[in-house]
């Protein structure tokens, strides 16, 4: 039964890892728009990742 | 937007709002603009808007949140670029309002996120503690002495105690607040149960005893947090919808300054005596007198009157009406609090306060529940200690078991679970529930009161098909349509709707306040009102009937009249009949003139109809009904309905309604049909039944569990199993509301 001394902490560590991942996802805004996320997977093109390649040309001055 | 791009009909208009002031500087030196977008309802809209904005040169980021309808646009460069952004989104057909993100519901999202974090922690703890507890229940302690069991208990304590301290905070806070106010809510027994369970389990663990309830305590927290989170989400959604509406209502006013320049100012900052410019199609935000210009005013939202009223110099106009055909300059007589609009809002608030505050079933139940539970636990303790002859520690153990077992887990889930299912089902049918208690109030409705304009009718003019006199044929109609395609006047739009295929004629000039004109070789062809065309009543002859009209004058030919009417919603008659079949009393209260109202009432078979009512008159009628003990559902859209909507025991408003009415109403429905009224009543009844069943199940569970606990038979295993079972039963029962949908309403998809 001494194996429990290793196994329980390992199990807890794995669980904490999952908890940490969830809290990170929550903090980084991935739960802000669940309805939108459900729809976005249906968009065909994948280039709509925000701010990946900022285009720096200024807007036209009118 | 460059002119080379295809434009929506009506040409390149300036953006309706000046968003420049709302542009923020981001950390990376770029600009950010936050907009609320109205009219977004699916992924397609998200895509159109984001793609459309990405096409604008300079835009680096465009992200639309479908849940909150908030759009964030980022770019580098000038602030003024905000105008382009707004124009682009409006060009795509969506209404936008800029806002400052810091001022909107920061609290709300924070507390929702906090609940979610607590939920995650409680879930983690529940799963892991349960893992260890199962080992204990399986007999891990008995085999190899109690050392192993104690170790497992210590591990449980290590996980459970921090988790309870963290995840229990929402309940502890609320319970403390309730205790400070010398009352008890559901959170008091919850907090007490969880804390006592944790404390007693720690004591048992330290003394090597068998009764550690760590698993029950954290599982309980987990289930309760699920209920709390669902509840919060449903309410938060409703609230953000209401906020969105209010924000959309706050429109800037164009003030004409002495030097001739124009300034956009919030309505409450405009001083009486100032001159205000109101563009055609704009809603008037102040009370005033027309200084110059001549136009028509649509006061439908204030009075329910369908005919447009002419407004020349000297005429009085009121906030909340819409200037239809030509720009007007107004001299402001009243603003903000003193306008007719504000008067109506005050009437509404008054009605809302007078309305007895509705106490939900769950709250009523919890008022009885908390004292009963505490008395039961106290009774068990005293009984065992004094009469049963147990040591006080053991008696306390039993009392705590009672508290744990009775913890209102299922009760806490009974209402939110059903509400989430119900509002999800209604949302899919385009009905937005705004008030948390609306479902309960809807379920007891026995009288339905309708407004006419915009509720039973579509609230916009449509060409009366049989109207053109025989002999003129379709050719007059298509010629009129070609002219009308150049205008945004509501009657012209109605003509275009009737003839969608007719191309717009070229060289058409709009004469503001009069009509449209096109010069041909033979002479001018004109489409406009009777006065402008110089037709007196005699020339109009027998055609001079009711309702709005347009005349087409062509050189050398007899003038042709086009009559318009505000058509009934396609299923109005069917819905009224169905309501009456279900045994509900139906009434019609309108501010419009008696002949029109009686005609509509006659066609729909509504016996109780009243016309020419003021907003206060409508409220009086509703109060008379309430005095008779009736539970009234008010369905209305106009500003004149807003006080009545607030006064009725529950209210419903179409999404085409004025913002204030939507804010006053408990639920808002979309679309051109009236059957959401039936749907919402149906779902409310079913939800009410399910809530009652859920309470029944929860009480049944307690009837079994409490005697067991009082008798001292409850072990940690029994407590955990019983509690989880009751919670899952309640959730499963709530899911039945969703099952019905798939069978009963396959046509729900738009």
Of all residues in chain B, the one with the smallest CA distance to A43 is: B47
Contact list in A for residue B37 (CB cut-off 8 A) is none
Quick check: is B576 in a domain?
yes
**pLDDT value of position B405:** 78
CA distance to partner chain A, nearest, from residue B77 (Å): 6
Counts of helices then strands in chain B (DSSP H, E): 25, 27
| CB spacing of B75 vs A59 below 8 angstroms | yes
| CB spacing of A60 vs B43 below 8 angstroms | no
Same domain, B575 and B438: yes
| CB spacing of A15 vs B56 below 8 angstroms | no
- Is the CB of residue A24 less than 8 Å away from at least one CB of chain B? no
Quick check: is B717 in a domain?
no
Same domain, B543 and B439: no
Calpha distance B743→B213 (Å, rounded)? 43
| CB spacing of B50 vs A48 below 8 angstroms | yes
CA distance to partner chain A, nearest, from residue B144 (Å): 9
Domain end marker among B557, B588, B613: B557
Check residue B523 and give left, alpha or beta (phi > 0: left; psi -120 to 50: alpha): left
CB-based contact B40:B67 (threshold 8 Å):
no
Neighbours of B539 (CB within 10 A): 14
Contact list in A for residue B113 (CB cut-off 8 A) is 26, 31
Contact list in A for residue B148 (CB cut-off 8 A) is 1, 4
In DSSP terms, B288 is beta-bridged to B317, B332
Calpha distance B661→B347 (Å, rounded)? 13
Contact list in A for residue B58 (CB cut-off 8 A) is 55, 57-60
**pLDDT value of position B354:** 55
Calpha distance B551→B564 (Å, rounded)? 11
CA distance to partner chain B, nearest, from residue A26 (Å): 8
Quick check: is B76 in a domain?
yes
**pLDDT value of position B597:** 85
Domain end marker among B80, B104, B128: B104
Sheet holding B309-311, edge to edge: B309-311, B295-298, B322-323
Quick check: is B294 in a domain?
yes
Active-site residue identified among B451, B566, B592, B675: B451
First to last CA, chain B: 32
Backbone angles phi, psi at B610, to 5 degrees: -130, 135
Calpha distance B705→B723 (Å, rounded)? 9
Strand, coil or helix: what is B287? Answer: strand
CA distance to partner chain A, nearest, from residue B37 (Å): 14
Same domain, B192 and B135: yes
Those residues of chain B whose CB sits closer than 8 Å to some CB in chain A are 30, 42-43, 46-47, 50, 54, 56-68, 74-78, 81, 84, 109, 113, 116-117, 120-121, 124, 127-128, 131-132, 144, 148, 151, 155, 159
Backbone angles phi, psi at B408, to 5 degrees: -75, 60
- Is the CB of residue A61 less than 8 Å away from at least one CB of chain B? yes
Same domain, B452 and B596: yes
Contact list in A for residue B66 (CB cut-off 8 A) is 33, 35-36, 39
- The HSE-up count of residue B530 (CA atoms within 13 Å, CB side) is 17
Calpha distance B571→B583 (Å, rounded)? 19
CATH number at residue B487: 3.40.1110.10
Q: What is the DSSP letter of B283?
A: B
Burial class for B745, CB neighbours closer than 10 Å (0-12, 13-18, 19+): middle
Spell out the long-range contacts of A6-14 with Cβ–Cβ below 8 A and sequence spacing 24 or more. A8/B132, A8/B155, A11/B128, A11/B131, A12/B128, A12/B155, A12/B159
CB-based contact B463:B494 (threshold 8 Å):
yes
Contact list in A for residue B54 (CB cut-off 8 A) is 48
The structural domain count of chain B equals: 5
Q: Which among B292, B325, B293 is positioned nearest to B308, based on CA atoms?
A: B325
CA distance to partner chain B, nearest, from residue A4 (Å): 10
Q: Tell me: the pLDDT tens digits for B153-194? A: 898 999 999 999 999 998 899 889 888 887 767 788 788 888
Same domain, B578 and B452: yes
Contact list in B for residue A51 (CB cut-off 8 A) is 60-61, 74
Calpha distance B602→B612 (Å, rounded)? 16
A59 → closest Cβ in B54, B81, B155: B81
CA distance to partner chain A, nearest, from residue B20 (Å): 15
Interface probe, candidates B5, B71, B76, chain A, greatest A C-beta count within 10 A: B76
- The HSE-up count of residue B107 (CA atoms within 13 Å, CB side) is 2
Quick check: is B691 in a domain?
no
Backbone angles phi, psi at B655, to 5 degrees: -75, -10
Strand, coil or helix: what is B265? Answer: strand
Same domain, B608 and B640: yes
CB-based contact A34:B43 (threshold 8 Å):
no
Contact list in B for residue A22 (CB cut-off 8 A) is 120
Neighbours of B8 (CB within 10 A): 11
Same domain, B174 and B288: no
Interface probe, candidates A1, A35, A38, A56, chain B, greatest B C-beta count within 10 A: A35
| CB spacing of A50 vs B63 below 8 angstroms | yes
Strands (E), B56-143: 59-65, 70-75, 95-98
Domain end marker among B203, B227, B250: B250
CB-based contact B707:B204 (threshold 8 Å):
no
Contact list in A for residue B155 (CB cut-off 8 A) is 8, 12
Calpha distance B708→B718 (Å, rounded)? 10
**Quick check: is B474 catalytic?**
no
Quick check: is B592 in a domain?
yes
Q: What pTM was estimated for this model as a whole?
A: 0.68
Quick check: is B379 in a domain?
no
Same domain, B205 and B281: no
Close Cβ partners of B718 (under 8 Å, ≥ 6 residues apart): B708
| CB spacing of A59 vs B77 below 8 angstroms | yes
Close Cβ partners of B98 (under 8 Å, ≥ 6 residues apart): B17, B19, B21, B22, B33, B34, B35, B36, B82, B86
B144 → closest Cβ in A1, A8, A31: A1
Per-residue DSSP letters for A9-58? HHHHHHHHHHHHHHHHHHHTTTTS-HHHHHHHTT-S--TT-TTSS---PP
| CB spacing of B67 vs A32 below 8 angstroms | yes
Same domain, B229 and B283: no
Strands (E), B424-514: 431-433, 447-450, 457-463, 508-511
CATH number at residue B88: 3.30.70.100
Neighbours of B9 (CB within 10 A): 11
What number is the ipTM of this complex? 0.72
Close Cβ partners of B266 (under 8 Å, ≥ 6 residues apart): B250, B252, B253
Same domain, B35 and B112: no
Q: Which among B682, B444, B666, B669 is positioned nearest to B578, based on CA atoms?
A: B682
CB-based contact B695:B361 (threshold 8 Å):
yes
Q: Which two tokens stand for residue B703?
A: 């009837």
Quick check: is B135 in a domain?
yes
CB pairs < 8 Å spanning A and B: 89
| Low-confidence residues of chain B: pLDDT under 70 | 1-18, 39, 41, 100-109, 140-145, 184, 234-252, 266-268, 281, 300-307, 336-360, 408-409, 436, 465-473, 488, 512-513, 536-547, 639, 657-660, 663, 739-750
Same domain, B449 and B591: yes
Domain range for residue B492?
A: 473-557
Close Cβ partners of B405 (under 8 Å, ≥ 6 residues apart): B702, B705, B706, B708, B709, B714, B719, B722, B723
CA distance to partner chain B, nearest, from residue A19 (Å): 7
- Is the CB of residue A41 less than 8 Å away from at least one CB of chain B? no
In DSSP terms, B296 is beta-bridged to B310
Same domain, B117 and B221: yes
């Amino acid at each position: 039964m001494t194996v429990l001394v290793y196994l329980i902490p390992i199990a807890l560590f794995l669980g904490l890892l999952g908890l940490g991942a969830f809290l990170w996802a929550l903090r980084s805004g991935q739960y802000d728009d669940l309805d939108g996320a459900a729809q976005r997977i249906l968009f065909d093109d994948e280039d709509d990742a925000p701010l990946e390649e900022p285009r720096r040309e200024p807007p036209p001055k009118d | 937007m460059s002119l080379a791009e295809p434009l929506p009909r009506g040409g390149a208009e300036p953006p309706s709002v000046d968003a420049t002031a709302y542009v923020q500087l981001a950390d990376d030196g770029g600009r950010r603009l936050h907009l609320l977008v109205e009219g977004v309802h699916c992924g397609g809209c998200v895509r159109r808007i984001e793609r459309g904005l990405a096409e604008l040169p300079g835009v680096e980021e465009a992200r639309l949140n479908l849940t909150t309808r908030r759009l964030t646009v980022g770019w580098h460069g000038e602030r003024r670029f905000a105008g382009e952004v707004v124009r682009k989104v409006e060009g795509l057909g969506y209404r936008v309002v800029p806002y400052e993100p810091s001022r909107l519901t920061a609290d709300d999202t924070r507390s929702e996120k906090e609940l979610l974090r607590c939920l995650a922690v409680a879930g983690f703890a529940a799963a892991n503690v349960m893992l260890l507890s199962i080992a204990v229940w399986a007999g891990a302690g008995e085999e190899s002495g109690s050392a192993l069991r104690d170790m497992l208990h210590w591990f449980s304590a290590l996980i459970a105690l921090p988790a309870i301290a963290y995840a229990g905070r929402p309940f502890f806070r609320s319970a403390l607040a309730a205790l400070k106010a010398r009352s008890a809510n559901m959170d008091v027994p919850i907090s007490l149960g969880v804390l006592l369970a944790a404390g007693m389990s720690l004591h048992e663990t330290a003394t090597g005893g068998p009764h550690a309830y760590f698993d029950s305590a954290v599982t309980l927290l987990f289930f309760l947090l699920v209920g709390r989170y669902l509840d919060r989400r449903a309410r938060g959604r409703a609230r953000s919808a209401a906020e969105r509406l209010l924000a959309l209502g706050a429109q800037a006013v164009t003030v004409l300054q002495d030097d001739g320049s124009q300034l956009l100012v919030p309505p409450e900052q405009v001083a009486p005596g100032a001159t205000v410019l109101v563009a055609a199609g704009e809603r008037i935000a102040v009370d005033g007198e027309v200084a110059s210009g001549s136009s028509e005013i649509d006061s439908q939202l204030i009075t329910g009157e369908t005919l447009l009223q002419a407004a020349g110099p000297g005429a009085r106009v009121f906030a909340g009406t819409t200037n239809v055909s030509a720009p007007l300059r107004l001299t402001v007589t009243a603003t903000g609090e003193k306008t007719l609009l504000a008067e109506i809002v005050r009437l509404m608030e008054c009605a809302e306060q007078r309305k007895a505050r509705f106490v939900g079933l769950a709250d009523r139940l919890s008022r009885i529940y908390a004292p009963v539970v505490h008395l039961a636990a106290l009774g068990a303790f005293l009984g065992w200690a004094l009469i049963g002859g147990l040591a006080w520690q053991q008696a306390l153990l039993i009392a705590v078991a009672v508290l744990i077992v009775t913890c209102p887990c299922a009760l806490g889930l009974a209402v939110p679970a059903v509400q989430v299912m119900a509002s999800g089902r209604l949302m899919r049918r385009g009905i937005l529930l705004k008030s948390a208690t609306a479902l309960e109030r809807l379920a007891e409705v026995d009288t339905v009161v309708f407004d006419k304009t915009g509720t039973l009718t579509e609230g916009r003019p449509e060409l009366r098909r049989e109207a053109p006199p025989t002999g003129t044929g379709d050719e007059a109609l298509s010629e009129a349509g070609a002219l009308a395609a150049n205008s945004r006047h509501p009657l012209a739009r109605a003509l275009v709707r009737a003839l969608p295929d007719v191309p717009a004629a070229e060289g058409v000039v709009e004469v503001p306040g009069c009509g449209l004109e096109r010069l041909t070789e033979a002479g001018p062809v004109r489409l406009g009102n009777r006065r402008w065309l110089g037709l007196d009543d005699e020339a109009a002859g027998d055609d001079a009937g009711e309702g709005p009209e347009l005349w087409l004058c062509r050189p050398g030919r007899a003038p042709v009249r086009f009559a318009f009417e505000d058509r009934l919603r396609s299923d109005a008659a069917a819905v009224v009949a169905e309501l009456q079949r279900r045994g509900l009393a139906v009434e019609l209260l309108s501010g419009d003139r008696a002949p029109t109202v009686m005609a509509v009432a006659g066609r729909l078979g509504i016996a109780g109809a009243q016309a020419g009512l003021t907003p206060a008159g409508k409220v009086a009628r509703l109060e008379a009904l309430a005095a008779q003990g009736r539970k009234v559902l008010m369905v209305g859209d106009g500003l004149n309905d807003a006080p009545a909507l607030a006064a009725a025991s529950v209210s419903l408003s179409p999404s085409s309604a004025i913002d204030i009415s939507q804010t006053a109403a408990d639920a808002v429905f979309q679309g051109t049909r009236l059957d959401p009224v039936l749907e919402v009543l149906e779902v409310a009844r079913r939800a009410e039944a399910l809530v009652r069943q859920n309470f029944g199940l929860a009480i049944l569970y307690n009837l079994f569990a409490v005697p067991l606990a009082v008798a001292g038979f409850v072990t940690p295993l029994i407590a955990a199993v019983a509690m989880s079972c009751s919670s899952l039963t309640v959730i499963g029962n709530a899911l039945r509301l969703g099952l019905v949908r798939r069978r009963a309403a396959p046509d729900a998809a738009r």
